[in-house]
Chains A and B, each alone.
Chain A
Amino acid sequence: MITLNINKKTFNVDVDPETPLLWVLRDVINLVGTKYGCGMAQCGACVVHLNGEAVRSCVTRVSRAAGQKVVTIEGLSEKNDHPLQKAWIELDVPQCGYCQSGQIMSAAVLLRENKNPTDKDIDAAMAGNICRCGTYLRIRDAIKLAADKQRKGI
């Protein structure tokens, strides 16, 4: 039995410690906002926060998350009102949407560590998140808008 703290709730899961965290989130706990893309840490669709860092859950064994704090897209904010979520809606960022939870979770780490990111900062931080629809320019604009909202506290 492994004890996990996910989105501030405790879960005891009976799984092989080698199981990727992604499959425990999706198949055992039924948090399906985190997506499976490549399974080898290449695309960023499966990004969640482990103790605040944007880990790729498809290659992170659930044993690494035992007793640690995990946050998924479902737990990023109480009412889907994180500045990034607001900006994403305002600028209508997603097209198919498949990669977007990973994009937002990566962007959240950027905004936590850099309150006013430049284009260069955004490109460097988001280079590991691939979008097949090519929404990169809207993602960049939304991160800037979210940074502005965060600074203004709105």
Chain B
Amino acid sequence: MKLHSKFGKTYFLPIKTIAVLSIFLSVIVLMSFSFKNESTSTKNEIINKDSVESVKAFMDVYKVLMSPRCMNCHPSGDVPLQGDDSHIHTMLPQRGKDGKGIYAMKCMNCHQPTNLEGLNKPPGNPNWHLPPATMKMVFEGRTPGQLAKQLINPKTNGNKTLQQLIEHADDGLVKAGWDMGEGRTVPPMSHEEFKKAWITWIKSGAYAPKP
């Protein structure tokens, strides 16, 4: 289509381009509404605030996280702990930058992808490691309040959102805590009970007990 201006110049009105742009913009607007709805519903699923229920659930979570099967790989130092008495790991293997050990002392040099038969054999997991040096995620020595705050802060929890924290209950290495090989006690409740307490704590507001 040709248009004539008052100065006598001729302009072409790009009808097809305008039509395509209109459709494109409509799609973007519709998509933005649908994303907004999704994020609101996710938020509502997670946050149903109840500080009493949340703190009560966390105290169960705390018992598990402070049990040797979890805490031994979340030490306050750079050497993991070992055994039901959480003594310093024999041979003093060190964390290293990535949490997988150093030089000839890397975790997977002894810890195999699966458990081995027999007492005192190294427990196994294909992803065996400590938290990395840049974010040590220490459990040892933390009070319930300190640990709860650490767990919900992405700067201290491995950059996890609340949704990712919920999913972390089913992480392979977390679940391995209930299957560490012969002679090792398991955490003080089942993984199912732990997961229920963990999700309840988060969905009811992820409150931190005092202290």
A66 in contact (CB, < 8 A): no
In the complex, the answer to whether A40 meets B120 with C-beta atoms within 8 Å is yes
The smallest C-beta distance from B182 to any residue of chain A, in angstroms, reads 12
- When distances are taken between beta carbons in the complex, the residues of chain B under 8 Å from A106 are 103-104
Q: Which of A40, A41, A61, A107 contacts B104 (CB 8 A)?
A: A107
B31 to chain A, nearest CB (A): 46
Shortest distance between the CB of B91 and any CB in chain A (Å): 4
Contact across chains for A54 and B109 when beta carbons are under 8 A apart: yes
Question: B102 and A56: CB pair below 8 A?
Answer: no
B97 to chain A, nearest CB (A): 12
CA distance A106 to B162 in the complex (A): 42
Query: Is B121 interfacial (CB-CB < 8 Å)?
Result: yes
Q: Which of A39-91 contact B (CB under 8 A)?
A: 40-42, 47, 53-56, 59-61, 64
Q: Which residues of B contact A56 (CB under 8 A)?
A: 109-110
Known: A56-B110, A124-B94, A127-B92. A41 touches B122 (CB 8 A): yes
From A25-33, A108-116, A132-140, the one touching the partner chain is A108-116
Cβ contacts under 8 Å, A121 to chain B: 103
A127 and B110 CA atoms in complex are apart in Å by: 13
Q: Is B141 an interface residue (CB 8 A)?
A: no
Given the known inter-chain contacts A54-B109, A56-B110, A127-B91, please indicate yes or no for A109 contacting B121, CB distance below 8 A.
no
Q: Is B116 an interface residue (CB 8 A)?
A: yes
A56 to B106, CA, bound (A): 11
Alpha-carbon distance between A60 and B90 when the two chains are bound, in angstroms? 19
B-contact bits for A115-152, CB 8 A (1 contact / 0 none): 00000010011111100000000000000000000000
- Are A125 and B105 in contact, CB atoms less than 8 angstroms apart? yes
Contact B112 A60 (CB under 8 A): yes
Question: Shortest distance in angstroms between B75's beta carbon and chain A's nearest beta carbon?
Answer: 16
- B113 beta carbon closer than 8 Å to chain A: yes
CB distance from A87 to the nearest CB of B (A): 17
6 shortest A-B CB distances, which residue pairs? A106-B104, A125-B103, A54-B104, A41-B110, A128-B91, A109-B104
What are 8 A-B residue pairs whose CB atoms fall within 8 Å in the complex? A40-B118, A42-B91, A47-B109, A53-B106, A56-B109, A61-B112, A125-B102, A127-B91
Sample of 15 further A-B pairs with CB below 8 A, known A42-B90, A64-B112: A40-B120, A40-B122, A53-B109, A54-B104, A55-B109, A59-B116, A60-B112, A61-B112, A64-B113, A105-B104, A106-B103, A114-B103, A124-B94, A128-B91, A128-B104
Question: Chain A: residues with CB nearer than 8 A to chain B?
Answer: 40-42, 47, 53-56, 59-61, 64, 105-107, 109-110, 113-114, 121, 124-129
* B interface list, Cβ under 8 A from A: 90-94, 102-106, 108-110, 112-113, 116, 118, 120-122
